Amino acid sequence: MNSSITVKNTGLRKLLVDTAGPVATISIAQLFGTALWFSANSTAGDLMRIWHASAADIGWLTDAVQLGFILGTLVISLSGAADRFRASTIFVYATIAGAAFNVCFAWLSSGLVSGAIFRFGVGICLAGIYPMGMKLIVGWAPERTGQALAQLVAMLTLGTALPHAMRVMGAGFPWQMIITASSVLALIGAVMIGVLRDGPHARTRCPFPITPQATQARSPSVLSAFRMRPFRAATLGYFGHMWELYSFWTTVPLLVAHTSLSSRFAALGVSGVSFCVIGVGALGSLIGGMLSRHIGSAKVAAGALGMSGLCALTFAIGWRYLPTGAIAALFILWGASVVADSPQFSALAAKACPPEMVGSALAIQNSIGFAITVVSIAATVALFEHVGLDATWLLIPGPVLGLIGFRSATRDQAK
């Protein structure tokens, strides 16, 4: 019985590798798994009506996911669990648990408090999905990590934009069914990774050292990665990128609504334009991935970060004077460049640390990076209420400080 199951799984694995390819399989599974992240966004209107909540109240559901993710990534990185167990195993179990929390949110939530608790649980589980997906990519395609991770981030970007598309389509299904559908997608992603498993280049530490000598021989704490200059530089660049990225994505609907774009593209509406601005980041990520094969991840990351910072500066200075067409072109360029650097920073960080520390290093990078987004989003949204579109000035320090911190990595790459 066991041998027949093993043979069957081996055949399915070969089918996935030969047809879709491991990178495409991981990217699709990651998209399905992280559908849990954005599932509540597409039902915000229904929840506001049913729970008599404001937009700010619903924002707590997003914050709950972010905080859960931060805690989860912090735990799996500092404990070393991200590298002591197979990435595919963590991915599968985390996805199943996340799908369960998501279904509980749909059918058992009675208000904001219970809803936030279930969403917090989803966030914790996402810590076993997003960084483990990146580790899986490294295990399958170490020779082209930048391009492979770009495909992964492209799918995640489409997932971020998807709620805006769903609002445009105006699906008339009950909100519980939409949430449940995202859990079904996540389970499909878990099956895909369960069949594919870890790549041939993946490494894990011994889960349970059984002797004092083995304990002393374990790989050092993930915090030691910050003593490595290339890792530290790439991570500082990533932190600057994260300050801008999620604040921009969060405020895109506000920016569109307060410019002439909302009237110029009335047929699309604010949600339709927002989907285009955020969704074009998938194309930017793919283009950046292809460029990384020719000029290196460091130059792509620095170029994209500089470009997005320049877009932010241009908009902050000129939004009062620029014509509608120029604002539209600026937003498309901004949306494409603001996320294109993300996979390249992760690729550089993965290459800079020992293979047996990759999972923990990416997890701690995610944890701190998303903690930064909580601060930047809150600050930008609060400032927007007082000064309107001039709040975009607050996005500029991210790319500037990120480029300063990343300068040494760019110099090392050029040598």
Query: How much is the average pLDDT of 279-291?
Result: 93
Q: What is the DSSP string of 363-414?
A: HHHHHHHHHHHHHHHHHHHHHHHHHGGGGGGGGTHHHHHHHHHHHHHHHHHH
Does the pLDDT value for residue 387 go beyond 80?
yes
Q: Can you tell me whether residue 322 is helix, strand or coil?
A: coil
Tens digit of each residue's pLDDT (9 = 90 or more) over 341-373: 999 999 999 888 888 888 888 899 999 999 998
Residue with tokens 């991570």: 235
Distance CA 63, CA 47 (A): 16
Q: Are 226 and 357 in contact (CB under 8 A)?
A: no
CA separation for the pair 229, 408 (Å, rounded): 8
Q: How far apart are CA 239 and CA 365, in angstroms?
A: 8
Is the pLDDT assigned to residue 336 strictly greater than 60?
Answer: yes
- DSSP code of residue 265: T
pLDDT, mean of residues 268-281: 86
Calpha distance 409→405 (Å, rounded): 8
Give the whole-angstrom CA distance, residue 76 versus residue 91. 12
In 231-255, which positions are buried (b, 16+ CB within 10 angstroms) versus exposed (e)?
bbbbbbbbbbbbbbbbbbbbbbbbb
Q: What is the mean pLDDT of residues 283-287?
A: 94
Q: Is the pTM of this model over 0.95?
A: no
Sequence-distant (6+) residues with CB within 8 A of 67 are: 120, 123, 374
Contacts for 170 with CB less than 8 Å, ≥ 6 apart: none
State the SS3 of 9-65: HHHHHHHHHHHCCHHHHHHHHHHHHCHHHHHHHHHHHHHHHHCCCCHHHHHHHHHHH
CA 235 → CA 85, 139, 356, distances in Å? Answer: 24, 20, 18
Q: What is the mean pLDDT of residues 137-166?
A: 79
- Report the CATH fold assignment for 225-415: Growth Hormone; Chain: A; (1.20.1250)
pLDDT at position 156 is 80
Asked if residue 376 lies in contact with residue 299, where contact means CB atoms within 8 angstroms, the answer is no
The CATH code of the domain at 7-199 is 1.20.1250.20
Average pLDDT over residues 76-84: 89
11-66 per-position pLDDT tens digit = 566 655 555 588 889 999 988 888 888 777 667 778 888 898 776 677 788 788 88
Question: Which tens digit of pLDDT belongs to each residue from 101-142?
Answer: 999 999 999 899 999 999 999 999 999 998 999 889 888 887
Q: Which of 20-24, 150-154, 329-333, 374-378 shows the lowest mean pLDDT across its residues?
A: 20-24
% residues pLDDT > 70 (the chain): 84
Average pLDDT over all residues of the chain: 84
> HSE on the CB side for 406, CA within 13 Å?
33
Task: Estimate to the nearest angstrom the gap between the alpha carbon of 53 and the chain centroid.
Answer: 27
414's CB contacts (< 8 A; 6+ apart) are 298, 299
Token look-up 């391009």 returns 147
Asked whether residue 163 carries a pLDDT value surpassing 80, the answer given is: no
Domains 7-199 and 225-415 in one fold: yes
Burial state string for 113-125 with b = 16 or more CB within 10 A and e = fewer than 16: eebbbbbbbbbbb
Phi, psi of 66 (to 5 degrees): -60, -45
Rounded to the nearest angstrom, the gap between the alpha carbon of residue 162 and the centroid of all alpha carbons in its chain is: 14
Give the pLDDT of residue 178: 79
Domain-by-domain residue ranges, the chain? 7-199, 225-415
Q: Which two tokens mark 125?
A: 């589980």
The tens digit of pLDDT for each residue in 209-262 reads 444 444 344 445 777 888 888 899 999 999 999 999 988 988 888 899 899 888
Tokens of 379: 């600050």
